[in-house]
């Protein structure tokens, strides 16, 4: 107990914790944007794979597949994104404080790295590849770009939510 006096470490920890809670809406928005865009990309890769197999997919089927992935894939992807984005954005926030700046591109980069790392870990640790598109560089890059978009959204909305002192 510190009898009402906080040490610099306690003050920094309290400030960082409060900053995280103020940025929670930005994190959730980043997760939603990344999950939705990643889901749309994943659907299009699946449709492209079907057409390479000479399967015709009409517009109604494309829309149904897209809606199905948004309803079923995006929520699962969102859970992974929360687990990936939290440490990525925390480390990035500390890095930005240490560098004494507010570069939006660092959060975008962190979002992309978080998604790429998650996909590579899943591919390495799971007995089968959960997303076939991630076995190709184009699929990995496409989903990584959805993470970049999410990081960019986090940077823009997160910085707007936290007052500067």
Tell me the pTM. 0.82
Average pLDDT of the segment spanning 87-110: 87
Q: Any idea how long the chain is?
A: 165
With contact defined as beta carbons under 8 Å apart, do 119 and 158 qualify?
no
164: Cβ contacts below 8 Å, ≥ 6 apart: none
What average pLDDT score do residues 140-154 get?
A: 96
> What does the H/E/C string look like for the chain?
CCCCCCCHHHHHHHHHHHHHHHCHHHHHHHHHHHHHHHHHHHHHHHHHHHHHCCCCCCHHHHHHHHHHHHHHHHHHHHHHHHHHHHHHHHHHHHHHHHHCCCCHHHHHHHHHHHHHHHHHHHHHHCCCCCCHHHHCHHHHHHHHHHHHHHHHHHHHHHHHHCCCC
Mean pLDDT of 134-161: 88
pLDDT per position as a tens digit, 17-76: 556 677 889 999 999 999 999 999 999 999 999 999 999 999 999 999 999 999 999 999
The pLDDT value given to residue 122: 87
pLDDT: which is higher, 50 or 164: 50
CA dist., res. 107 & res. 89, Å (int): 7
**Residue 79 is encoded by which pair of tokens?**
């859970």
Calculate the CA dihedral of residues 93, 36, 139, 67 and round it to 10 degrees: 170
What gap in Å lies between CA 156 and CA 142, rounded to an integer?
21
Q: Write down the pLDDT at residue 17.
A: 55
């Amino acid at each position: 107990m510190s009898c009402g006096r906080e040490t610099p470490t306690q003050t920094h920890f309290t400030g960082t914790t409060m900053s995280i809670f103020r940025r929670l809406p930005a994190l959730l928005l980043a997760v939603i944007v990344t999950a939705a865009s990643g889901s749309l990309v994943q659907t299009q890769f699946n449709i492209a794979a079907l057409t390479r197999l000479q399967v015709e997919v009409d517009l109604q089927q494309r829309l149904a597949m897209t809606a199905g992935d948004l309803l079923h894939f995006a929520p699962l992807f969102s859970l992974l994104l929360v687990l990936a984005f939290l440490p990525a954005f925390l480390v990035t926030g500390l890095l930005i404080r240490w560098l004494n700046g507010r570069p939006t591109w660092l959060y975008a980069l962190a979002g992309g790295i978080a998604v790429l790392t998650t996909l590579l870990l899943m591919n390495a640790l799971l007995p089968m590849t959960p997303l076939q598109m991630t076995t190709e560089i184009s699929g990995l890059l496409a989903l990584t770009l959805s993470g970049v978009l999410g990081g960019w959204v986090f940077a823009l909305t997160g910085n707007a939510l936290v007052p500067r002192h």
